């Protein structure tokens, strides 16, 4: 387990020390659970009480944060970013590369597959004919990489993930367990009371620095390519259907779904359990809130919610009224009864 001084940690993240720079840090933890040798972080006033009570040896905080009780602090501009960098360092130390060099003897690898420097293939994995694997790539246990694929440097295919043939994947891409890339899209033609399958003969192209969470699937295009842009992050249990075009630095969050031929432009966010109808355009920077149902195109920067969706503030006001509909109905019935009584008195 690594052991660093607070001063060393501060140097690593470009921060400054407020307190004991020689204190030893051996792990990362939360404010509530941290011990005297742990580093925690504080970046949200909702956790002020936890910050004041923490037993952490040191705490990552914003540059201008107050110091309650003379704690040892590491002041940085962005505590979340600093924590991410530190977690990467601790991960590197605590979890060394589990793959021995080369190809595991239980793996099945085509004779004409090509591998870059220090690429490694785990137990019972499969690498198909004519596939090219970049330098330092890792193919996990029981993972499958089909024929005629190309994957870039520092690629990581986690155990039990599958890439179908002819897919193109960039560098530093991470596909977690259960991910499927390049399966047929959901396409059928109804004829004579039956469903005739439409062959999907396209492919999937994934840019650099993409990460795809467990259980997600990216369908191959009917023709052409389904594309995932550079830097996009896809959460668990997400479906990207055939021929979708997902731009750079998009976030697709858990259980959302994109129907066929949808286009999601740069830096848009699709929230959890949201669904897009097919052939839509989601503009740059648009945000689709959780469980929204999108039936029409969204302009750049739009923020929507609801099913069918609408501008988020308008929909929130509508839902606030919706909760009061029963009492409003009772009030309306009383008004109608009172009005009827008045009319009866007036002989109308």
Residue 28 structure tokens: 């990362």
In contact, 140 and 125? CB cutoff 8 Å? yes
> 170: exposed, middle or buried (C-beta count within 10 Å: 0-12, 13-18, 19+)?
buried
Residue 224's Cα: distance from chain center in Å?
25
Largest CA distance in the chain: 99
Which of 275, 273, 271, 274 shows the shortest CA–CA distance to 260?
Answer: 275
Long-range contacts of 222-231 (CB under 8 A, 24+ apart): 222/185, 222/187, 222/198, 222/260, 225/168, 226/185, 226/202, 228/204, 229/266, 230/170, 231/207
User: Which SS3 state, helix, strand or coil, does residue 4 take?
Assistant: strand
Long-range contacts of 44-50 (CB under 8 A, 24+ apart): none
User: Which SS3 state, helix, strand or coil, does residue 304 take?
Assistant: strand
DSSP assigned state of 16: E
**CA 91, CA 40: separation in Å to the nearest integer?**
16
| Edge-to-edge order in the sheet of strand 287-288 | 102-103, 120-121, 138-139, 156-157, 174-175, 211-212, 233-234, 251-252, 269-270, 287-288, 303-305, 310-311
Cross-strand bridge partners of residue 234: 212, 252
The reply to whether 242 belongs to the active site is yes
> Among the options 176, 200, 219, 242, which is catalytic?
242
User: Which SS3 state, helix, strand or coil, does residue 329 take?
Assistant: helix
Enumerate the active-site residues. 242
């Amino acid at each position: 387990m690594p052991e660093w001084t607070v001063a060393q940690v501060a140097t690593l993240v470009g921060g400054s020390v407020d307190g004991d720079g020689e204190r030893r840090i051996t792990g990362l933890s939360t404010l509530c659970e941290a011990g005297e040798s742990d580093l925690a972080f504080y970046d949200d006033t909702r956790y002020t009480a936890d910050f004041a009570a923490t037993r952490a040896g040191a705490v990552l905080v914003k540059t201008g944060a107050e110091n309650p009780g003379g704690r040892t602090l590491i002041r940085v501009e962005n505590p979340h970013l600093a924590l991410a960098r530190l977690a990467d360092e601790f991960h590197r130390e605590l979890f060394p590369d589990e793959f021995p060099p080369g190809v595991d003897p239980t793996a099945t690898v085509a004779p004409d597959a090509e591998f870059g420097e220090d690429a490694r293939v785990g137990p019972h994995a499969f690498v198909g004919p004519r596939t090219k694997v970049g330098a330092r790539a890792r193919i996990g246990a029981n993972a499958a990489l089909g024929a005629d694929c190309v994957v870039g440097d520092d690629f990581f295919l986690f155990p039990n993930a599958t890439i179908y043939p002819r897919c193109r994947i960039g560098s530093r891409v991470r596909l977690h367990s259960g991910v499927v890339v390049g399966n047929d899209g959901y396409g059928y033609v109804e004829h004579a009371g039956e469903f005739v399958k439409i062959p999907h003969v396209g492919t999937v192209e994934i840019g650099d620095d993409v990460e795809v969470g467990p259980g997600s699937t990216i369908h191959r295009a009917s023709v052409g390519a389904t594309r995932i842009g550079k830097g996009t992050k896809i959460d668990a249990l997400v479906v990207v259907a055939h021929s979708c075009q997902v731009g750079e630095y998009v976030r697709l969050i858990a259980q959302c779904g994109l129907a066929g031929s949808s286009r999601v432009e740069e830096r848009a966010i699709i929230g959890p359990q949201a669904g897009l109808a097919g052939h839509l355009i989601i503009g740059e920077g648009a945000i689709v809130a959780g469980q929204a149902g999108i039936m029409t195109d969204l302009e750049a920067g739009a923020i929507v919610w609801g099913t069918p969706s609408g501008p988020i503030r308008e929909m929130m006001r509508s839902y606030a009224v919706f909760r009061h509909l029963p009492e409003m109905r009772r009030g309306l019935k009383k008004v109608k009864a009172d009005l009827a009584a008045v009319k009866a008195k007036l002989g109308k």
